[in-house]
Amino acid sequence: MSAKKNEIRRELIVYSLKKILLKNTGKEKKFSGFKINSKEIKRGDIFIALKGENEDGHSYINEAIKNGATGIISEKELEKEGLSVFYVKNSILALHAIAKNWKQQYKNIVTIGITGSVGKTTTKQLTEKVLSSQYNTVASIKNYNNELGMPLTILRADNKTEILLLEMGMYKRGDIAQLAEIAKPDHGIITNIETVHLERAGSINNIFLAKKELIDALPADGVSILNNDDTKLKKIINAKTRQTISFGTSNKSDIHAKNIVDNGLKGFEFDLFIQNEFVYRLKIKQPGVHLMPCILASIAVSNYLKIIPEKIKSTLEDFLLEDRMQIINKKNNLTIIDDTYNSSPSSLIGALGLLGKSNNYKIAILGDMKELGNMTKRNHITIGKIAVQHADEIICLGENAKDIYISSKKNSNKKVSHFAKSEQLLSYISKQQYNDSTILVKGSRALKMENIVKQINNK
């Protein structure tokens, strides 16, 4: 059963939902897409009403209908004349079942799963850019990497799709196994294993086992693409239980970088070796040498899929990230490094290293790093010690970041301040003049650090 582009047949939906469908009404035979946000509905779409922690999608069914939905998947029985309603036991399981069957229609799509503690979205962006130069590629948008976002990505595939690039996130063991059961990946990339989500996972070993679920789900002929600089992942590489492509900075890696030069805000460059043979020197415009694992992972999968080497080079050299590591140049020799997308120990250390390359007065505005569990205090103290090596001034925001403040004060005589709430920090910034300065802004999503960038940007 293959479907035409933008055509979802009723029979496929009914077949997919056979285990959880309680009742279906209406006569609509074809639909154009699936949406979980009523505001995004277009004529002919199916609206999936999901129950969340904060909101219930069933409250938005009327808005979805008004916006053109011709089908509804609901956990509540509805009587809407002329509307196709699929009354199910569980809307999330309905989305999973439909995505799984949708994917099974397209036997020739090569599906690649991407996971890791840090760098998933960056690796996905880089890999999508390179693969799209030669293949029709569908990839997760933004960071659609959970039980909702990944199935919705699958549902964007059609009979023209050649590569399906799926970011897979986790909070606990079993999450990635669940996603892999839906997606059935052919190959898998793991960027690294770190303490991100330690609070929910419980231990670093649990994080490793959770990420490894992607590799365990691959078919016998599937290829695992792993970071050889990561001690946990090295165990899988050395086990040699399946075909593996390793990447890293060691010449023991299949894909490796040598003679690395960090050019600060102008990017970085390195010599690329594949199987210990020199290929070419890459000059990356995107600042942040700590992004090297993401670059090498994208090269590894692109080389395996036989992307023309010069296309890999030209694409990566011109690539600039979306929504992170944004360099904003302002008047009065002010530069803002906007890395507010999220924060973790390794990404923050990398961002501080980038800040340290500036010749200006260097200010680090640092918010909490969330979900680090019993490593929270230790990691924030460590960041304080590192921050004073790269910044002339450190401004801390949030409860956990108070440990950055204390550690920075203890380890230097530099100007260090702390604010408990964003409003206090925004008020402070409004009174400052930033000339001949480079300012790094970084923190976890919960702190909405982008508002700080806006405040500085609008001065």
Write out the DSSP string of 14-83: HHHTTTTEEEEE----EE-EEESSGGG--TTEEEE--B-SS-BGGGGHHHHHHTT--EEEESS----TT-
Beta-strand relationship, 224-227 and 244-248: parallel
Please report the pLDDT score of residue 5 as a whole number. 54
pLDDT band, residue 75 (cuts 50/70/90): very high
Q: Are 255 and 231 in contact (CB under 8 A)?
A: no
Single-letter amino acid code for the residue at 165:
L
Cα–Cα distance measured from residue 403 to residue 51, given in angstroms and rounded to the nearest whole number: 37
pTM of the entire structure?
0.91
pLDDT band, residue 200 (cuts 50/70/90): confident
The β-bridge partners of 112 are: 165, 187
Region 432-439: mean pLDDT is 95
CA distances from 89 to 28, 53, 84, 443 (A): 21, 18, 17, 39
Sign of the torsion formed by the C-alpha atoms of 279, 285, 290 and 291: negative
Q: What CATH architecture does domain 106-318 belong to?
A: 3-Layer(aba) Sandwich (3.40)
The β-bridge partners of 244 are: 224
pLDDT digits (tens, 9 = 90+) for 234-258: 999 998 888 999 999 999 999 999 9
Cα–Cα distance measured from residue 289 to residue 310, given in angstroms and rounded to the nearest whole number: 21
- Domain 326-457: state its class: alpha beta
Please report the pLDDT score of residue 1 as a whole number. 42
Q: How many residues does the chain have?
A: 459
Q: Are 263 and 242 in contact (CB under 8 A)?
A: no
The β-bridge partners of 246 are: 226
Region 76-81: mean pLDDT is 87
pLDDT band, residue 181 (cuts 50/70/90): very high
Single-letter amino acid code for the residue at 20:
I
User: Quick count: other Cβ atoms within 10 Å of Cβ 86?
Assistant: 26
Q: Which of the listed CATH numbers 3.40.50.300, 3.40.50.1580, 2.40.50.140, 3.40.1390.10 matches domain 8-92? A: 3.40.1390.10
**Is residue 341 predicted with pLDDT exceeding 80?**
yes
Domains 8-92 and 106-318 are alike in CATH topology:
no
pLDDT band, residue 52 (cuts 50/70/90): confident
The single-letter DSSP state of residue 426 is H
Domain ranges for the chain: 8-92, 106-318, 326-457
Dihedral (C-alpha) 202, 204, 208, 210: value to the nearest 10 degrees? 10
Q: Which helix (H) or strand (E) holds 428?
A: helix 422-430
User: Quick count: other Cβ atoms within 10 Å of Cβ 2?
Assistant: 8
CA distances from 391 to 44, 152, 353, 365, 455 (A): 54, 42, 9, 10, 20
Q: Which helix (H) or strand (E) holds 3?
A: none
Please report the pLDDT score of residue 53 as a whole number. 82
